Chain A
Amino acid sequence: DQQVKQNSPSLSVQEGRISILNCDYTNSMFDYFLWYKKYPAEGPTFLISISSIKDKNEDGRFTVFLNKSAKHLSLHIVPSQPGDSAVYFCAASGRSGGSNYKLTFGKGTLLTVNP
């Protein structure tokens, strides 16, 4: 049973436009969410996170939105740049239930930003 779902395996956008990557989760115990970016042949690198006490966190071109009632979060990248082309993983962690030390990942979304 997948607790973190990224239903779009790929997304293609034009340079300068907004990229919106979506993520859904099923475990109501999750209260900390992260996005990681992964280039080919490299390990994932941390991009941005959000705690469940917030509904928005912004860092430069990257903004993460959290809708707890819908168990949904999204990553917005604006404006998108060709260097943003990578696989983006959504991850979640919970403070209780014995899983507060590990991240549960989605399968990732391949973002391609076309010049």
Chain B
Amino acid sequence: GAGVSQSPSNKVTEKGKDVELRCDPISGHTALYWYRQRLGQGLEFLIYFQGNSAPDKSGLPSDRFSAERTGESVSTLTIQRTQQEDSAVYLCASSWGQASSGNTIYFGEGSWLTVV
């Protein structure tokens, strides 16, 4: 596609429910990232995929968070037993290669999650 696409754009869920957030990266981009931004905070790194592998999951806040990527394309971020502190905008991004090689990282518009 033309850009990084994320769905849903908005999600309101009850505390304790599970949610799935989907990301379709730019076609051909091998690197895929999940970030989140909580109110008044900067962008917080969650996880990085190179192809279908996730060499760095260190940013996932707890074991309630998981992510997978298939076909070197679509990625799903799953949050189990959601808590109010999970409320944030979850941003997916993709790039041709690694950030430090001068490859621009392109972001989607984000999935706004509200846990009530």
The stretch of B13-21, B76-84, B96-104 in contact with A is B96-104
Which residue of chain A lies nearest to B93 when distances are taken between CB atoms in the complex?
A: A43
Which residue of chain B lies nearest to A41 when distances are taken between CB atoms in the complex?
A: B109
> Would you list which residues of chain B between 67 and 92 have a CB under 8 Å from chain A?
91
Total A-B Cβ pairs within 8 A: 68
Distance in Å: Cβ of A10 to nearest Cβ of chain B? 12
Interface size class of A (residues with CB under 8 A): 20 to 34
Which residue of chain A lies nearest to B6 when distances are taken between CB atoms in the complex?
A: A43
CB distance A45 to B107 under 8 Å?
yes
CB distance B42 to A105 under 8 Å?
yes
- Write out the residue numbers on chain B whose beta carbons fall within 8 Å of the beta carbon of A4: 42
Which residue of chain A lies nearest to B47 when distances are taken between CB atoms in the complex?
A: A102
| Interface flags, A10-49, vs B, CB<8A=1, else 0 | 0000000000000000000001101010000111111001
- Write out the residue numbers on chain B whose beta carbons fall within 8 Å of the beta carbon of A43: 4, 91, 93, 107-110
| Interface flags, B35-53, vs A, CB<8A=1, else 0 | 1000011111100101000
CB distance A51 to B42 under 8 Å?
no
**Tally of chain B residues near chain A (CB < 8 A):** 28
CA distance A93 to B31 in the complex (A): 15
CB distance B105 to A46 under 8 Å?
yes
CB distance A89 to B91 under 8 Å?
no
CB distance B98 to A100 under 8 Å?
yes
Distance in Å: Cβ of B42 to nearest Cβ of chain A? 4
Apart from A41-B109, A101-B98, list 20 A-B contacts with CB within 8 A.
A6-B42, A31-B100, A32-B99, A43-B4, A43-B108, A43-B110, A44-B43, A44-B91, A44-B107, A46-B104, A46-B105, A49-B104, A51-B102, A91-B43, A93-B98, A93-B100, A100-B98, A100-B101, A101-B55, A107-B42
Residues of A that sit less than 8 Å from B by CB: 4, 6, 31-32, 34, 36, 41-46, 49, 51, 89, 91, 93-95, 100-108
Identify 20 residue pairs between A and B in the complex whose beta-carbon atoms are under 8 Å apart, listed by A's number.
Answer: A34-B104, A42-B109, A44-B43, A44-B91, A46-B104, A46-B105, A89-B42, A89-B43, A93-B99, A93-B100, A100-B98, A100-B100, A101-B31, A101-B56, A101-B98, A102-B99, A103-B33, A103-B105, A106-B42, A108-B42
